[in-house]
Amino acid sequence: AQTVTQSQPEMSVQEAETVTLSCTYDTSESDYYLFWYKQPPSRQMILVIRQEAYKQQNATENRFSVNFQKAAKSFSLKISDSQLGDAAMYFCAYRREGGSEKLVFGKGTKLTVNP
């Protein structure tokens, strides 16, 4: 079974600085998708960024970018120019290609942004 591991239960960053959240996963599949979701206190999961495993180029979305290392099964999220509104729980998630489309989540990293 696929598993997703986030080794940092909590992280903090100063406003305007850069922070990197770690994620590793275990799978025997070659085609799959990876996601980072943000969960503010409102509880709603918000998609931050996604990556297709067949793409070598790292995904970027404005201040958010990933470092996808397929061989190492690593998928870290970099947040640049951190803002107070970035404070939330961040979850890494995996979905395999085909079959059931369920997402497998890590346990999350709580990000605090200090003014």
Q: Is 57 in the site for another protein (CB under 8 A)?
A: no
- Residues 23-52, interacting with another protein (CB under 8 A): 33, 42-47, 50
Cβ burial of 34 (10 Å; 0-12, 13-18, 19+) is: buried
Q: Is 95 in the site for another protein (CB under 8 A)?
A: yes
Cβ burial of 64 (10 Å; 0-12, 13-18, 19+) is: middle
Instruction: Report the C-alpha gap between 99 and 114 in whole angstroms.
Output: 42
Q: If binding means CB under 8 A, how many residues of this protein chain bind another protein?
A: 21
82 vs 96 by CB, closer to another protein = 96
In contact, 24 and 73? CB cutoff 8 Å: yes
46 vs 84 by CB, closer to another protein = 46
18 vs 102 by CB, closer to another protein = 102
- Amino acid sitting at position 51: Q
Binding site for another protein (CB under 8 A): 4, 6, 33, 42-47, 50, 91, 95, 100-108
